[in-house]
Amino acid sequence: MIVAERPKPTLQPRLNPPILSAVNKRTQSYTILNGQCAGPGICPLSQVQVGVLVCIKQLATSPELSDRLRELGFCEQQRIKLLSRHPSVICQVCNARLALSEELADSILVEPVHSAAA
C-alpha cells in the first residue's frame, strides 16, 4: 500500500501589500496675509493663524480618511478654532480638541469666519 504524504502548510508573507494614500496631493498655491487666507478664497488649515475661527470647506483626503474625520465632527461647514500649530495642529471642534499632523492639516481647506459672522 502506497501512502501519499500531505504537504505541510506554510505561512507565506504577502508579496504585494496594499498601499493606502491618506492625503491627496495638491499643486495649487495659496496666499496667506497676516495669518488669514487672502481674498475670498480658501486655504489649508495648516496655514491659518492660531486663534482664528474658520469654516471647513473641503476635505481633500482619501474617502476612508474623510469619512473618519466626519465621524469625529470634522466635516464641511463645521466651524473650528485653531489652537496650536506646533508640534502638531490642534483644533477645537464640537467642544473637543483634535490633534492633526501637518500633512493632514494641509489637505483640509478652510475659509476664515469674519468677526461679524461669528
All three cell numbers of 1: 500500500
Residue 5 within any structural domain of the chain: no
Residue 17 counted as domain residue = no
Three-class SS state of 44: strand
pLDDT tens-digit series, residues 2-56: 666 665 555 544 554 444 445 554 445 555 455 555 445 789 999 888 999 999 9
Of 28, 25, 27, the C-alpha closest to 60 is: 25
Number of folded domains that form the chain: 1
Q: Residue 92: which domain range? A: 37-112
Paired with 32 in beta bridges are 37
Is the residue at 24 inside a domain? no
Q: Residue 60 is part of a domain; what is its CATH number?
A: 2.30.30.90
pTM, rounded to two decimals: 0.65
What pLDDT is recorded for position 86?
82
pLDDT band, residue 71 (cuts 50/70/90): very high
**Span 99-109, pLDDT tens digits:** 999 999 999 99
Half-sphere exposure of 50 (CA within 13 A, CB side): 8
